[in-house]
Amino acid sequence: MYYDSHIHSTYSADGLSTLGDYTAAVDSGRISGIGFAEHLDMMPECGSYGWLDGWLDPMAYMAEVKALKDKGYEFYAGCEIDYNKKAQQDVLDHLEKFQYDFTICSIHMIDGCSISDREYIPAIHDIDKLKYLIRRYYEEFRHSLEVDAFDVIGHVGVFKRYLGDAYYKRESLLRLVKEAEYEIARLSAKSGKIIEVNTSGLYSPHGETLPGKAFLELYHSFGGRNVCAGSDAHSCEDAGRGMKEAHKLLKETGFRYIMPPWDRENPVKL
Ligand SMILES: [Zn+2]
Ligand SMILES: [Zn+2]
């Protein structure tokens, strides 16, 4: 039974398939249910800025998800918030107005620089700049853990997605990340938030889920038990991609349940 809790439809600026298109992924038996995580971007430098909060109507989005739910599909209307402390109040104001089924807090931009796309981070050869961005990433991460309105922590360590070999060859960078992740895993476990295992990393130069085994082991060792899995699909063909691998990894790491972000009362056995 696979629930994919991180999928984008055309309610996101970069989504390619409509909500209706995704019924095919359920009809085919590939996945049991979907948590849609449309981008909610409050900063002008973000790709979906003004999209869900501007000319697209969140009420229309939620109504369309509900109509499919009424037809028997286990669909949930969530959003993926592009977090930065400077935009926090705007995000909270929006979440006050619109009650999504769940929220994912993700960090994509640091001081106007994208740390999650395929162009920017691999092009940085200045190790000090890279380290600065990574330190800032974990700093924003710590702030986000204090925000009650966020249910899920999206793709921990997303800056690794396109770093590939450049990352593993740099000892001092690995050390910095290792130390930061230790602290973040501890605080994440304490926060009670759900850690998302984002499978997009498996299909990127990183070749591992985000977060990977090392972080999940730490999180588990600190008593963290709330995990879910998401493909970060932007088109129907990718829905459910990597779910099997993510479940296997979670089981091997000692987790027994998936926590659906929209229904924490009913964990699903792995
Ligand atoms: Zn994201
Ligand atoms: Zn996403």
β-partners of residue 94 are: none
How far, in Å, are 121, 183, 233 from residue 38 at the CA level? 24, 29, 11
Residue 140 pLDDT exceeds 90: yes
Q: What pLDDT does 54 receive? A: 65
Q: So what's the pLDDT on residue 123? A: 66
185-237 tens-digit pLDDT: 999 999 999 999 999 999 998 999 999 999 999 999 999 999 999 999 999 99
Cα 230 to averaged position of ligand 2 atoms, centre (Å): 9
Stated pTM of the model: 0.95
Buried b (16+ CB within 10 A) or exposed e, 70-103: eeebebbbbbbbbbbeebbeebeebbeebebbbb
Contact yes or no for 211/218 (Cβ under 8 A): no
Residue-level pLDDT at 1: 86
CATH T-level fold of 3-269: TIM Barrel (3.20.20)
Mean pLDDT of 79-85: 94
Res. 164: pLDDT tops 90: no
For residue 181, give the nearest of 157, 151, 206 by alpha carbon: 157
Residue 168 scores a pLDDT above 90? no
The answer on pLDDT for 169 being more than 80 is: no
37 alpha carbon – ligand 1 mean position (Å): 9
Identify the pLDDT of residue 254. Answer: 98
Question: Could you identify the residue written with the tokens 């994919």?
Answer: 4
The residues whose Cβ lies within 5 A of ligand 2, an ion, are 80, 232
Residue 265 Cα, ligand 1 centroid: separation in angstroms?
26
Position 122 confidence tier, pLDDT thresholds 50, 70, 90: low
What was the pLDDT predicted at 36? 98
Rounded to the nearest integer, the mean pLDDT of the chain is 93
For 148-153, what is the mean pLDDT? Answer: 98
- Does residue 49 or residue 127 have the better pLDDT? 127
Rounded average pLDDT over 18-28: 97
Please name which ligand lies nearest the alpha carbon of 6. Answer: 2
**What pLDDT is attached to residue 155?**
98
3-class SS at 205? coil
Are 167 and 160 contacting, i.e. CB atoms less than 8 angstroms apart?
yes
pLDDT at 118 exceeding the cut of 80: no
For the chain, give the number of residues. Answer: 270
Residue 60 confidence class, pLDDT cut points 50, 70, 90: very high
Percentage of the chain lying above the pLDDT 70 cut: 97
Q: What is the DSSP string of 161-193?
A: TTTTHHHHT-HHHHHHHHHHHHHHHHHHHHHTP
pLDDT at position 46 is: 77
pLDDT bin (cut points 50, 70, 90) of residue 80 is very high
Q: Are strands 109-110 and 113-114 parallel, antiparallel or unpaired?
A: antiparallel
CA 198 to ligand 1 centroid distance, Å: 9
Question: H-type helices in 50-170, by residue range?
Answer: 58-70, 88-97, 127-144, 165-168
pLDDT in tens, 29-51: 999 999 999 999 888 877 777 77
Q: Ligand 1 centroid to 168 CA: how many Å?
A: 22
Q: How far is the CA of 41 from the centre of ligand 1 (A)?
A: 11
Mean pLDDT across 100-120: 89
Mean pLDDT of 98-117: 92
